[in-house]
Amino acid sequence: MSTHSIWSNYHTHKAFDEMIDHQGTTRDTCATLGQYLQTLGMETIKGRLSAAEAAILEMGITFTVYSDEGNIDRAWPYDIIPRLIDFHEWKSIEVGLKQRLKALNCFINDVYNEQHFIRDGFLPPDLIESSGNFRKECIGMQPKFGTWANICGSDLVRADEGKVYVLEDNLRVPSGVSYMIENRVITKRVFPELLQNLDILPVDDYPTQLLEMLSSLAPHSTERPQIAVLTPGIYNSAYFEHAFLAQQMGAELVEGSDLIVKNDDCVYMRTVGGLEKVDVIYRRIDDLFLDPEVFYKDSALGVKGLMRAWKAGNVALANAPGAGVADDKVIYAYVPQMIKYYLNEEPILPNVPTYLCSDPEQCQYVLQHLSELVVKPANESGGYGMLVGPHATQKEIQQFHKLITHNPRNYIAQPTLALSTCPTLCGDELQPRHIDLRPFILQGEHSFVTAGGLTRVALRSGSLVVNSSQGGGSKDTWIINREQ
């Protein structure tokens, strides 16, 4: 066995590295992990990765990628080196995330009712009307507890000298939580001795918390509300997750054609014994496909009359239709003000500075600095339609110049952050790769935040795009308490 350090070729770049500081010393949080990896040596680490990859295949942990050759079911990309966050730091992030979702829900409820925030001059009204995710059909609705976004996946990044920012809030149908849980299952298999000796917060209580939150939304108090997970079906990229969550919660996994809304405006599912009433639907279908009676007329994924049943208060939908209005990347820029306005608190987690192209002055700046900025469309997710200025070709920059000029409302820009890096197994050695973090926040009767979340990693050297649909990988995330 070679005696040289597995860290000898590990060179951190300008970015903040989660494990090794600029002097090359292992950070305190990661001391035990660093030593442990060193003791194992590279060959053993690689062996454990092979074992992990075999387990992922056999357990069938997959995600679906759309391609020209049809839909491919790919094994979940897992990097064996965990990402660690100190318990105390995490506690304050957790409070910040709950605060943020609370304010977002106040805002959504306000948008569809009195619109105080707009009337008081904090947000130009045309930004709401022009939002692709604003649903006029939802005006006047008041979901239980005033919560519209019950499940939120916020993307956090660490930049500069270690400061954590919120990059975006996913309030429509955020995915990834099942992989967070499965990543831990895999890590337990490959590093059992390490997990036993460290105090790491567990992550597998999420389905229980989700079930409790969904139950709290049931329109009428019943002993055991009937809960269903509504999936677009097997060809959806997140189908694995839909099935996983339904199984873990003991809920029914349904597709649109399993459900029917009768004349009494109640939702029923078709069972072998006849129709059974459904109380709460965790829908993993986009708004516009939910109900052909109201939205896309030819949607085969949705359920005719679902909006009728929801408006009549006979079924709870999570997330509520229209919740995506606050998911718009233009609205994102206003979240710190929302926190002050609705909660009368100072924001705990900062936003990334954001230029709104809808504002002529800011748009001018963006157009002049495209090669330095990251440009994002306001209503897309999954890393589609983005421009990463410093990595873009001249042609791409010109293309975005045109796109933005043509439809400024649809674009925002942010400085290119030096996302933090984390040691990642690349071939035969550990190399720094950029990462982000997606924790999941629940809000129903109570709030809940996952312990950590899903760490996504850009596998290509220097790349900042972490989405699995764009070739990103993932890491198990450890919230580690070092006090004995």
Partner 1 sequence: MLSRSAERLYWLARYLERTENTARLVSATMNLIYDLPFGVELGWHNLLNICGVEAAFNQRYKTCSEQNAIHFLLTDMNNPGSLLASLTIARENIRTSREMMPDEAWEQVNEMYLYAKNNLDQVLHRRERALFLQEIMRGCQRFTGFIAGAMSRNASYRFISLGRNVERADMTTRIMDFGTILLAENRSHMMREYETMLWINVLKSLSALLMYRKQIRQRIKGKEVLSYLLKNPEFPGAVHHCLLEINDCIQQLPNCKELADFIDPMIVEILEINIGETTPAQLRITLDTLQAQFNDLHQQISATWFLSP
Smallest gap, in angstroms, from Cβ of residue 272 to partner 1?
5
Residue 399 touching partner 1 (CB under 8 A)? no
Binder of partner 1 out of 246, 373, 413, 451 (CB under 8 A): 246
3-state helix, strand, coil in the chain (%, to 5): 35, 25, 40
Name the segment binding partner 1 (CB under 8 A); options: 152-160, 164-172, 254-262, 284-292.
Answer: 254-262
Residues 462, 391: Cα–Cα separation, whole Å? 9
Distance of CA 460 to the CA centre of its chain: 21
Residues 119, 3: Cα–Cα separation, whole Å? 68
Smallest gap, in angstroms, from Cβ of residue 263 to partner 1?
21
Binder of partner 1 out of 234, 365, 390, 461 (CB under 8 A): 234
CA separation, residue 285 to residues 37, 295, 467 (Å):
42, 12, 19
Residue 257 touching partner 1 (CB under 8 A)? yes
Smallest gap, in angstroms, from Cβ of residue 276 to partner 1?
9
To which H or E segment does residue 401 belong? helix 394-406
Contact 71, 64 (CB under 8 A): yes
Smallest gap, in angstroms, from Cβ of residue 384 to partner 1?
26
To which H or E segment does residue 166 belong? strand 163-170
The interaxial angle of helices 206-216 and 239-249, nearest 10 deg, is: 80
Cβ proximity to partner 1, 60 vs 353, nearer residue: 60
Residue 258 touching partner 1 (CB under 8 A)? yes
Residue 65 touching partner 1 (CB under 8 A)? no
Which of 386, 409, 466 lies closest to 77, judged by CA? Answer: 466
Smallest gap, in angstroms, from Cβ of residue 266 to partner 1?
17
Residue 201 touching partner 1 (CB under 8 A)? no
Contact 339, 347 (CB under 8 A): yes
What residues from 266 to 305 belong to the interface with partner 1 (CB under 8 A)? 269-274
Cβ proximity to partner 1, 16 vs 268, nearer residue: 268
User: What phi and psi values does residue 259 have, to the nearest 5 degrees?
Assistant: -110, 150
Cβ proximity to partner 1, 58 vs 361, nearer residue: 58
Write the interaction track for partner 1 spanning residues 15-54; mark x where CB under 8 A is met and - where it is not.
----------------------------------------
Residue 57 touching partner 1 (CB under 8 A)? yes
User: What phi and psi values does residue 435 have, to the nearest 5 degrees?
Assistant: -135, 165
Smallest gap, in angstroms, from Cβ of residue 193 to partner 1?
25
Contact 49, 473 (CB under 8 A): no
Length of the chain: 484
Which of 473, 483, 429 lies closest to 83, judged by CA? Answer: 473
What residues from 136 to 175 belong to the interface with partner 1 (CB under 8 A)? none
Question: Going by DSSP bridges, is the β-strand pair 227-230/252-254 parallel, antiparallel, or unpaired?
Answer: parallel
Cβ proximity to partner 1, 133 vs 237, nearer residue: 237
Residue 252 touching partner 1 (CB under 8 A)? yes
Cβ proximity to partner 1, 64 vs 130, nearer residue: 64
Positions in the binding site for partner 1 (CB under 8 A):
57-60, 234, 239, 243, 246-247, 250, 252-255, 257-258, 269-274
